[in-house]
Amino acid sequence: MPYRLAWVAVALSGFVMVLAGAFAAHGLEGRVPERLLEAFETGVRYQAWHTLAMLAVLVWRQAVPAQGQGLALWLWGGGIVLFSGSLYLLTLTGIRGLGMITPFGGLLLMAGWLALAISAWKARSG
């Protein structure tokens, strides 16, 4: 992912995260079943943590470029889309089949953390 594009993607993820959180708090409460509202909020929470992680990797990458940092960013980006996105769509549409996508997003998020660990290990000094 080109460096500039990565910054734009992280910024947009942050925007969507705040928008989704506000929508959950003010637009969904009382309009969807509690379990779906909780699923939506889980999507927001995971998006928030991974957006912050992506931001940290971008800063780290600027200071100490290392192989694997870009892979972690891609995996987390895909994980956010599949994990959080499927929970958002599941809540808004009620289509239960979308829940089958969520675990794949979770796997991508976990793979991103492994890619980050490997990148950090390879980039270590001394």
The Cα–Cα gap between 116 and 80 comes to: 16
pLDDT digits (tens, 9 = 90+) for 54-87: 999 999 999 989 999 999 999 999 999 999 999 9
Residues 6 or more apart whose Cβ sits within 8 Å of residue 46: 80, 83, 84, 109
Query: The pTM is what?
Result: 0.93
pLDDT digits (tens, 9 = 90+) for 23-50: 999 999 899 999 999 999 999 999 999 9
Residue with tokens 């969807």: 32
Say if CB 59 and CB 103 are below 8 A apart: no
| Alpha helices, DSSP H, located in 24-101 | 34-63, 69-79, 85-93
Confidence of residue 126 (pLDDT cuts 50, 70, 90): very low
Question: Mean per-residue pLDDT for 93-109?
Answer: 96
Counts for the chain of helices (H) and strands (E), in that order: 5, 0
What whole-number percentage of the chain has pLDDT above 90?
Answer: 89
**Angle, helix 85-93 to helix 34-63, in steps of 10 degrees:** 160
pLDDT exceeds cutoff 90 at 14: yes
